[in-house]
Chains A and B, each alone.
Chain A
């Protein structure tokens, strides 16, 4: 509408002004025109100056300005203004038309016809007005693109079934294909919902920019569906221990169903694991639903998250998401070192005694230089007390440190404790107690560096501290897997509130930057809640503190029923979480583990020796077992950027699950091995984020010198494409003196002058 109004007033469409160069071509010398204008304007001004009577100074200025402006417009026309634009020579140039052939084009939005049908109507026939108009000016070359791109002889070759959209690859291919001919530009007809793996779009645009090839983008579809529910992303842990509580954040958005309650279902191989009610957010807002469940069966599990489709949804394929979680059937070992006999030992052991996926070895100092080791593998294990070498300590995946004073350890052992987390990647949990934290003299030690809390100065001798505290989850901790107590989500808060008070004997007030509190303590001794359970990442590992000394009261307090499992559940979840992602000597990961077939996947292996020092000179190989059972081998190369990091890229072409066995050796001696999984197949990627990506398409057009259109405005495309510097062109002069806006302005100023004069009694 605006563009039509512009054309009515200015004679030409805006694109002509954008592309053209402004110039004057006066029929007489410009000096003559100037003199003529002055000759008309000056007497009028002088006349007004001499006119006395009812005219004051302001009237004379206004009237003079109106007259001068009118004369100026006239003079401007006499100078014969014009635009000089480059236009293509008909049939001398080629035009590439790239049509999105992916599955997202099957979506029906913005009307009764699908995106594909509307595209075919506009571009699918040589007799369509648009194609005819283009064909009059250009030699047309059609391409289809999805995950790949190729020349198109006929629109019937379009089946709109591509699993991915890789715009960068398509632009690159068209540019190369038309590289040897005069190319006026490229027209891309797409919804812009790109999900290709090449990541070449930015590079392709840069190349087109340097070649001077404009890209005209034609957007198809709606920027936002009228009615749709979409699961965007699921943040799931890659590996978990069998039977562990798992928390997955699922991002979802919707339009047209705001405020509706739906159920988010989690399935494992068709078996429903959990169903979580979700209150849908306002239109366009993204909300995150946290779902909790456990998976017992070991091995790679493809979990499905779905919301049942509602009536009238534009796309139902995006109501479902998948996540690959490897459920590990291993039993990490945790060393619990306690500096004195405490009931915490008894009840912690009791809580995890039946857990097949966590094993706690206890070393308890029972007197000076006397230790009691429980559940050791070998009777000689820990016989000398706490490990004195890294090799001995690093055999454990986790370390629980009870109440033991810092001076018990040598400086090297304290350094070793920090290295256990930072270098080995182990999980450390420091418990509260009379000899823990600052009260135990840890302030300023290497271990204090590793802890997530700030240790205050050593308390004054004899200034003992004891505070009954009530424990509750923080806002962040309320949805964390550790704090789930096996109750329904809505009952969780009440459950925590009902637990008996514990006691704290350590002054811990402040978290370190980057640390998170899962539980907080309140009590008479505190103005504000203080951290009770907090953690942070430290190097490769995770360090946590539990700043109370008697969680066993949650088992033995009179208010706790015999059948209550709170204490057991908390400790099982806490210890599993502590060690679930502790790395081995070789740890293999993939940048993405669920991919559309044909998408390249980068495998990364972190390799370290027995002391968990990263090894750069290792021989690292990946043995890949494809879904059909065929095997191949790929060497992993040192990435150079990080010590001990090796990489390789594989392309899973078969639908199904790939097993990747990574082995590392140094000088023939094995360092370790790991197994990871990649699942490829039809993930419905085309239906996620498949709304019209208008901003991205506009940006592509703008950066290359093209324009963005929708199917409603595309009829101007043939003319717009004609104004290009690209290809074989001629320069045209377009007169501007006869623009309606000039005549209107001239008349308006003259009329204004006459009206003003009438009001002052001069006419």
Chain B
């Protein structure tokens, strides 16, 4: 399955993605997104086609928030990889550009794991990996990506069953490295914001009106990682939490602000860390 972006095709560096000068706090960004309301609601941006994905090489922008397109069980519009897509991506980038001075591409940027150009985007976001079923080509592509220097950020999968699926898949990619907890004093948690606690970020509709924040048996959020032999972080795993939903619904006045706040903080830290470590 190959996808075509339907976003406007003018050069990325010349998009009308102007920055507002203010809103340099997470709360401000969340408020900004809430104010944008319907204007940022998703439109049908993805369509099936046989045209190769239009990635940009060499990249003009310093950073592309790149979402991994992987094979898996059907979920979301096009597969489990596309959950919250593209609104979560866009809203996260809007926040990222307001909170930091990263020269970030202002739109979504999905790339297949077996696309050789994947390596030109050294930070990769993937979610719903409980439904991931990688093809051999994707395993090879992702392994090459990670060993060359890429960083994979995993999000939005819950409970032991989804963990087991993810663990099984990632073992196919990196069988030689262990999965370990990332401690609170890890530089990742202090690269931009000082994060002292891992908060469980619920999906939309949870965590309000007495509803629990967890899903399935994913009661406790975890931040885990896979390091190589030199101690370099290859994979960051956000388990039992859903940063993507918090970004996606940051403009929803019913979505609890503290969770959006934390999701942006952790997201920004991941990007800053991933671009410097």
Question: Which residues of chain A have a CB within 8 Å of any CB of chain B?
Answer: 339-343, 345-347, 349-350, 353-354, 362, 364-368, 370, 372, 374, 434, 464, 466, 468, 500-503, 550, 552-553, 555-558, 560, 562
Selected from B103, B149, B191, the residue in CB contact (under 8 A) with A347 is B149
Contact residues in A for B102 (Cβ distance below 8 Å): 340-341, 366
CA distance A367 to B104 in the complex (A): 13
B62 near A346: Cβ-Cβ < 8 Å: no
Chain A residues near B180 (CB-CB < 8 A): none
A-B pair count, CB < 8 Å, reads: 98
Closest 5 CB pairs of A and B: A558-B116, A341-B275, A556-B119, A503-B58, A345-B276
B144 close to chain A: CB less than 8 A: yes
Residue of A with least CB distance to B151:
A346
Bound state CA distance, A345 and B273, in angstroms?
10
Contacts of B116 in A (CB 8 A): 558
Which of A350, A367, A468, A557 is B99 in contact with, Cβ under 8 Å?
A: A367
Check if B271 is an interface residue, CB within 8 A of chain A.
Answer: yes
Interface majority SS on B: helix, strand, loop or mixed? loop
- In the complex the two chains form, is A553's CB within 8 Å of B274's CB? no
CA distance A347 to B276 in the complex (A): 8
Chain B: CB-nearest residue to A558: B116
A556 & B58 in contact (Cβ 8 Å cutoff): no
A341-B276, A349-B277, A366-B101 given; 14 more Cβ-contact pairs under 8 Å? A340-B62, A340-B103, A341-B63, A341-B101, A341-B272, A353-B230, A364-B276, A366-B100, A374-B277, A550-B59, A552-B122, A553-B120, A555-B149, A556-B120
Question: In the complex, are the beta carbons of B100 and A556 less than 8 A apart?
Answer: no
B171 to chain A minimum Cβ distance, whole angstroms, is: 19
| CB of B264, distance to nearest CB on chain A (Å) | 13
Say yes or no: A346-B58 contact (C-beta < 8 A), given A553-B120, A556-B119.
no
Contact among B59, B122, B191, B232 for A372, CB-based, below 8 A: B191
Most chain A CB neighbours (cut-off 10 Å) among B102, B192, B275: B275
Q: How far does the alpha carbon of A250 sit from the alpha carbon of B14 in the complex, in Å?
A: 52
A372 to chain B minimum Cβ distance, whole angstroms, is: 6
Shortest beta-carbon distance from A380 to chain B in Å: 15
Cβ distance B273 to chain A, nearest Cβ, rounded Å: 9
Most B C-beta atoms less than 10 A away, residue of A345, A362, A366, A500: A366
Inter-chain contacts of A339 with B (CB < 8 A): 101
A583–B150 alpha-carbon span in the complex (Å):
38
Q: Is B148 an interface residue (CB 8 A)?
A: yes
Within 8 A of A (CB), among B90-130: 99-103, 116-120, 122
Give the docked Cα–Cα distance between A501 and B122 (Å). 17
Within B228-242, which residues are at the interface with A (CB < 8 Å)? Answer: 230, 232
Closest CB in chain B relative to A554 CB, distance in Å: 11
Tell me the smallest distance from the CB of B205 to a CB of chain A, in Å: 32
A385 to B111, CA, bound (A): 36
- Contact yes or no, A350 B276, CB < 8 A: no
B101 touches A340 (CB 8 A): yes
Report the separation of the CA atoms of residues A350 and B233 in the bound assembly, to the nearest whole angstrom: 12
Contact A558 B14, beta carbon cutoff 8 Å: no
- Flag B167-210 by CB within 8 Å of A: 1 or 0 each: 00000000000000000000100011000000000000000000
User: Does B13 have its Cβ within 8 Å of any Cβ on chain A?
Assistant: yes
- Among A346, A466, A550, contact of B276 (Cβ-Cβ < 8 Å): A346
Q: How far is the CA of A339 from the CA of B101 in the complex (A)?
A: 9
Question: How many residues in B have their beta carbons less than 8 Å from beta carbons of A?
Answer: 35
**CB of B80, distance to nearest CB on chain A (Å):** 25
Contacts of B276 in A (CB 8 A): 341, 345-346, 349, 362, 364, 372, 374
Are B120 and A557 in contact, with the CB atoms below 8 A? yes
* A756–B275 CA distance with the chains assembled, in angstroms: 106
Contact check, A556 vs B122: say whether CB atoms are below 8 A apart. Answer: yes
- Tell me whether B62 and A466 are in contact (CB under 8 A): no
User: Taking the complex as formed, is B47 at the interface, i.e. its CB lies under 8 A from any CB of chain A?
Assistant: no
A463 to chain B, nearest CB (A): 11
Nearest chain A CB to B207 CB, angstrom units: 29
Cα-based distance from A558 to B117 in the complex (angstroms): 6
| A560:B60 contact, CB within 8 angstroms | no
The reply to whether the CB of B1 lies closer than 8 angstroms to some CB of chain A is no
Given contacts A368-B101, A434-B103, A556-B148, contact A343 B119 (CB under 8 A): no
Question: Are B120 and A346 touching (Cβ within 8 A)?
Answer: no
Question: Which A-chain residue is minimally distant from B104 (CB atoms)?
Answer: A341
Complex Cα gap A273–B116 (Å):
39
Most chain A CB within 10 A, of B122, B144, B230, is at B122
Contact with A along B19-38 (1 / 0, CB 8 A): 00000100000000000000
CB-defined contacts of A340 to chain B, threshold 8 Å? 62, 101-103
CB closest chain-A residue, reference B101: A340
Q: Is the CB of B13 within 8 A of A342?
A: no
Q: Does B2 contact A (CB under 8 A)?
A: no
Q: Which residue of B lies closest to A464 (CB)?
A: B13
The distance from the CB of A365 to the nearest CB of chain B, in whole angstroms, is 7
Q: How far is the CB of B201 from chain A (nearest CB, A)?
A: 22
CB distance from B64 to the nearest CB of A (A): 10
Cβ contacts under 8 Å, A368 to chain B: 24, 101
The residue of chain B having its C-beta at the shortest distance from the C-beta of A469 within the complex is B58
Nearest CB of chain A from residue B74's CB, rounded to whole Å: 29
Q: A341-B275, A367-B24, A367-B101 are in contact. Are A350 and B60 (CB under 8 A)?
A: no
B147: interface (CB < 8 Å): yes
Question: What is the chain B residue whose CB lies nearest that of A350?
Answer: B149
